[in-house]
Structure 1
Amino acid sequence: MGRELNKLTALSVRNAAAGKHADGGGLWFHKREDGGGQWVLRVTVHGRRREMGLGSAAEVSLKEARNEAAKWRAVARQNIDPIKERERLKREAARHLHLLEEIAEDAFESRKAELKGDGTAGRWFTPLKLHVLPKLGKVPVAEIDQIDIRDTLTPIWHKKAETARKALNRLSICFKHAAALGLDVDIQAPDKARALLGQQRHKPSNIPAMAWREVPGFYGTLADESVTHLALRLLILTGVRSSPLRFLHESQISGDIWTIPGDAMKGRKDKTPDFRVPLSEEALSIVEQARKLSRDGFLFPSVKRGVISDMTMGRLMERAQLEARPHGFRSSLRDWIAEATETPHDVAETMLGHIVGGAVERAYRRTDFLEQRRNLLERWAKHVTNGAILNV
């Protein structure tokens, strides 16, 4: 056998003429007319000859080719087709390269365009990052089953019900993403885990809101010209959500109109029109005061960098021993509209930036009720600043 092996040398390979050159033991060097070459191993399995490529001579040395040939000859001696075995091992390796954390990151990247601000706030990825990936991130997604998911989410299923629900929904998206990539995953595993986890005991509650009759009293306590006080006052007067208010930039205001970019509106998708907010005289006065404290064009900067956080306004109300929270002022405004005015439903809902009606109806209705909302917010400002109740 020794005489049949290792017939070639590195020099003979380099200087070989075009054609096929045997090294022994089924290893051949195929030299092409263009000067390139290929290593090929010939073996017989189940009475059938198989030719297995071992790579280009430019990338695989003679020594490496011999080592590979020896490995696959050993496989063939077990009556296993080395070509099929290599493909099987490649598929197995591919499965282990696709860890859940990799799939989750890829799924997140592919969905960024659908998320507000391209998902920079991190809310889509956070439930996975905090509660799933620490336990399952390094596990190949094809090996994760409903038991793994159940055991991972059980600690928070009832204690942090909403977060757990979001984490499970994100996992479902990840599994569908993995399936679309061609991975052999159990796409039903998240739904099976949901069945194993059972009904959540936690019942979601609405964010505490202040009764609209009590708003003037609280508004009067926001007497200084600090960023937090000014931000809360404008939040109350406009009924917008915290995020667009905190990121209010000088460029968004023109005259008495504040235009919130469509992608900053909750639940809005691409190509959604910007949302115009009419500013009352009181709101404009606050904007002028905030301009004196602005930084880089942002009217409500934080102490160090960026803009104030949602928690900053929330803590102020907490320190005042109030149950209500900043987001609740949207409910205060909506209740005032319902109980103290005779505003049509569509106008009232548009006031809060809600989408009203179906797609066809919205296609034909081009108005955003700007003037009606302007009048309403002036009346709301008068109520907030002096407690007047206008039943009109």
Structure 2
Amino acid sequence: MRSLNRLSAMAVKNLSSGKYADGGGLWVHIRNNGSGNWFFRFTIHGRRREMGLGAIGEVSLKEARDAADECRAVLRSGRDPIKERERARREAAKKQHLLADIATDAFEARKAELKDDGEAGRWFTPLAKHILPKLGKVPVEEIDQRDIRDTLAPIWHAKADTARKAMYRLEICLKHAAALGLEADLQACEKARALLGKQRHIVKSIPAMPWRHVPDFYEALGDDSITHLALRLLILTGVRSAPIRHIRQDQIDEDVWIIPAENMKGRKDATAEYRVPLSSEALAVIEKAERFERNGFLFANPLKGVLSDMAMSQHMKRAGLEYRPHGFRSSLRDWLAEETDAPHEVAEAMLGHTTGSRVVRAYRRTDFLEKRRVLLEHWAEHVTSRVGKKYRKRVRL
């Protein structure tokens, strides 16, 4: 009887349930349902072991015999085929650079550029939610435009802004991989955009209250609650909600509010503080807010931390308004454009925006504090109705 190659491909297809030897340690195990798998049986160091070689539907008889030959060669050298396969897999895994690892490394490399070292999670979130669940375990060198297209297609139009951010973050990761010397396709994202097509989603601006309606709303904020006071200060200063919620007593220097760079969106320079001139009305609001102070924060949450991001928005929703707190920045900007002669640079400085090229900004050292002081005082007069609905005088600087 032959010691090797006892089976044939046709015989394997017609075998009933049971275990059958092909010789030389190669066996096939057929189950009752007709499925089966190959395995290599061997003895090493006095211990009998069985090593799976794959299902019969995926591994042919010839492939199983080739695998068995390799196992016998390993045995002849005194090594365990199972342990050698595990070692080879570990070595292969070390050589793979998975996207999840590259993304984490890219994030770590950019933390210094991000607000609070990226602790808020906004930079990494689009990757974590929409890219890594599908591509995180894929070697970065194997990712192509089809992988990216299939990953982002479900949100490409439905959540256009999120998809755009996820694509941009992925592009950074691929560039980071290339910088590490890996063969990542730097054109994959651009090719994926071509496959996905132009986004149909139209970005909607945050609803902003018309500046002529602001006095009526401001007058309704009269109960001196923490939410009302925070909204009033937000309207008076034109500052985003995050700095308002995190305002501290030690940031107030007489009639100037000095906002640290880390509390300002887009200000990555640790020295780029933003000064806000405080109108007499704004100072009055701050004085009333002092009774809510805890640990230095003027708008402290009674339970923990500071006033929540949703508190002001929910107040406006409950009032039946479609407008949102952030929209008051647009209200102020429209008022500046329609009712004042403020130059573009001054008007943008009112909102904390930077204008001009890097060279222009390097030579322009002023933040227009005094001009902004005049404008914000007039804005306060408008919103408090001291000039009110009859206000028609154009402010000149």
Give the TM-score category using the shorter length. 0.7 to 0.9
Alignment of 1:390 with 2:378, yes or no, is no
CA offset digits 1:324-363 (Å, max 9, x no partner): 1111111111111111111222211111111122222222
TM-score (normalizing by structure 1): 0.75
Alignment of 1:94 with 2:97, yes or no, is no
Q: C-alpha separation between the residues in 1 aligned to 2:162 and 2:168?
A: 10
- Deviation, 1:173, is 0.6
Alignment of 1:300 with 2:299, yes or no, is yes
Structure 2 gaps, min length 5: 1-73, 82-87
- 1:309 maps to what in 2? 308
What SS is found at the alignment partner of 2:137? coil
Q: C-alpha separation between the residues in 1 aligned to 2:118 and 2:279?
A: 32
**Where does 1:61-76 land on structure 2 (aligned, <5 Å)?**
70=78
- Deviation, 1:383, is 0.4
User: Which amino acid in the other structure matches residue 112 of structure 2?
Assistant: A
**Where does 1:1-392 land on structure 2 (aligned, <5 Å)?**
70=78, 92-96=92-96, 98-386=97-385, 387=388, 388-392=391-395
CA offset digits 1:144-190 (Å, max 9, x no partner): 22222111111111111000000010011111112222233222222
Q: C-alpha separation between the residues in 2 aligned to 1:143 and 1:118?
A: 30
Q: C-alpha separation between the residues in 2 aligned to 1:334 and 1:68?
A: 82
CA offset digits 1:118-148 (Å, max 9, x no partner): 1122111111111122222233322322222
CA 1:237–1:320: 2 relative to 1, 3 Å: same
CA 1:384–1:91: 2 relative to 1, 3 Å: same
What SS is found at the alignment partner of 1:268? coil
CA 1:293–1:67: 2 relative to 1, 3 Å: farther
What SS is found at the alignment partner of 2:211? coil
CA offset digits 1:229-267 (Å, max 9, x no partner): 111110000001112111112221111110011232222
CA 1:67–1:299: 2 relative to 1, 3 Å: farther
CA 1:264–1:188: 2 relative to 1, 3 Å: same
Q: C-alpha separation between the residues in 2 aligned to 1:95 and 1:140?
A: 9
What SS is found at the alignment partner of 1:124? coil
Greater shift, 315-324 or 231-240, is seen at 315-324
- Deviation, 1:389, is 4.1
TM-score (normalizing by structure 2): 0.74
CA 1:176–1:90: 2 relative to 1, 3 Å: farther
What SS is found at the alignment partner of 1:219? helix
- Deviation, 1:68, is 11
Structure 1 gaps, min length 5: 1-65, 75-87
What SS is found at the alignment partner of 2:257? strand
Q: CA RMSD in A?
A: 2.6
What SS is found at the alignment partner of 2:204? coil
Q: C-alpha separation between the residues in 2 aligned to 1:331 and 1:361?
A: 25
User: Which amino acid in the other structure matches residue 299 of structure 1?
Assistant: L
Q: What percentage of aligned pairs have identical amino acids?
A: 64
User: Which amino acid in the other structure matches residue 329 of structure 1?
Assistant: F
CA offset digits 1:261-288 (Å, max 9, x no partner): 1232222222552110011111111111
Q: C-alpha separation between the residues in 2 aligned to 1:364 and 1:178?
A: 37
Q: C-alpha separation between the residues in 1 aligned to 2:344 and 2:184?
A: 47
What SS is found at the alignment partner of 1:206? coil
CA offset digits 1:297-341 (Å, max 9, x no partner): 111123422222322211211121212111111111111111111
What SS is found at the alignment partner of 2:258? strand
Q: C-alpha separation between the residues in 1 aligned to 2:161 and 2:377?
A: 37
- Deviation, 1:91, is 7.0
User: Which amino acid in the other structure matches residue 223 of structure 1?
Assistant: G
Q: C-alpha separation between the residues in 2 aligned to 1:343 and 1:244?
A: 24
Matched length:
316
What SS is found at the alignment partner of 2:105? helix
CA 1:143–1:68: 2 relative to 1, 3 Å: farther
1:95–1:183 Cα contact (<8 Å) kept: no
Q: C-alpha separation between the residues in 2 aligned to 1:120 and 1:301?
A: 21
Q: C-alpha separation between the residues in 1 aligned to 2:304 and 2:100?
A: 31
Give structure 1 regions of 4+ aligned residues with deviation exceeding 4 angstroms.
66-72, 88-91
User: Which amino acid in the other structure matches residue 340 of structure 1?
Assistant: E
CA 1:139–1:213: 2 relative to 1, 3 Å: same
- 1:9 maps to what in 2? none
User: Which amino acid in the other structure matches residue 94 of structure 2?
Assistant: A
